[in-house]
Amino acid sequence: MTDKSSKGANLFVALTGMLPGLMLFLLVLVLWEVIIRTFNVSIFVLPAPSNIAVSLAANAGALATATLITAKEVLIGFAFAAVVGITLALLIVRFRLFGRALYPLIVLFQTVPKVALAPIFILWFGYDLAPKIVLIMVIAFFPITLDMLVGLQSVEQSFVSLMKSVGARENDIMLRVRIPHAMPHLMAGMKVAITFSVIGAIVGEFAGASAGLGYMIQFASTQLDTALVFAALVVVSLVGVVFYYVIEILERFLIPWAPKFDAVNRA
């Protein structure tokens, strides 16, 4: 393939790559619509895709406002989770005794169902942004810590020997080898963490909020406005997908040397 044609060809490949997913999605929507109409399912129980679309359009303004609030919670919470997750991994690897002491506690903490902590965080931090950010942080830091740890530790022992053979200190090895080596792993951890962050934000709003998509879902379900519940769910999913792909694009820019992860196509 020549350089000139490759750009257009890549786009073509990308679009045709999306086709199977798109077709299946449309097929499910059509089936859904047909089933609702043939069996006359009540809109209170399960709205048809067309009902959801109408609700989306009718509540566009309110949904947009709620989206901004939830997205802000997700972003700030995720940023905290990333800082905490990365810092913990660095400390565990750099200071082995500290790592030996801390790591089992982190694993223990991870087994606590954090969703159950939401009401407690509301009690401690009030109704606003703070309890959501704390909840997102405790839910999302773990995959980041874990993947970062794997990345930092998976440098070949012989490479460490090589560094030591020229008198490199542990800090040199950390900064110049371990951390860049861990970047692809970190990115994988962040992709998991961002989806956890969206869940954390919605749960946080369920536990107590006066705005946001989670709050809207809860409010709409008390009003039996099931179409709006689904409309808000669609928006929540979109927020998650957008954030996920932002990380994936960042990944391509930050670590172009890393082998591309392709979940579907095998070599």
Partner 1 sequence: MIERVMGRNENGSEGIRQVNAASEPAANRTLSGNPTENATTGRQAEKTGPAMITAQNIAISYPGVKNGPAVIQDINLSIRDGSIVSLIGPSGCGKSTLLKAIAGLVPPAKGRMDIAGVTPQEAAQRRLVGLVFQEANLLPWKTALDNAAFLLQVSDKSIPANEARERAAENLRLVGLGEALTKLPSQLSGGMRQRASIARALTLNPQILLMDEPFGALDAITREEMSYLILDIWERTGKTIVLVTHSIDEAVLLSHEVHVMGVKPGRIVCSITVPLAFPRNSQSFADPRFRETEILLRDRLIESHGRPRQAS
Q: Which of 180, 210, 224, 245 binds partner 1 (CB under 8 A)?
A: 180
Q: Which of 133, 163, 188, 209 binds partner 1 (CB under 8 A)?
A: 163
Q: Which residues contact 200 (CB under 8 A, 6 or more apart)?
A: 74, 77, 114, 132, 135, 136, 139, 140
Please check whether residue 18 is in contact with residue 25, taking contact to mean a CB–CB distance below 8 angstroms.
no
Report if residue 166 touches partner 1, rule: CB under 8 A: yes
Report if residue 181 touches partner 1, rule: CB under 8 A: yes
What percent of the chain is helix, strand and coil (3-state, nearest 5)? Answer: 80, 0, 20
Closer to partner 1 by Cβ: residue 94 or 181: 181
Report if residue 98 touches partner 1, rule: CB under 8 A: no
Q: Which of 79, 84, 115, 168 binds partner 1 (CB under 8 A)?
A: 168
Q: Which residues contact 255 (CB under 8 A, 6 or more apart)?
A: 183, 184, 187
Report if residue 17 touches partner 1, rule: CB under 8 A: no
Q: Which residues contact 124 (CB under 8 A, 6 or more apart)?
A: 131
- Binding mask 122-161 vs partner 1 (x if CB under 8 A, - otherwise)? ----------------------------------x-xx-x
Closer to partner 1 by Cβ: residue 54 or 254: 254
Please check whether residue 145 is in contact with residue 87, taking contact to mean a CB–CB distance below 8 angstroms.
no
Token pair belonging to 154: 């998976």
**Which positions touch partner 1 (CB under 8 A)?**
156, 158-159, 161-168, 172, 176-177, 180-181, 255, 257-259
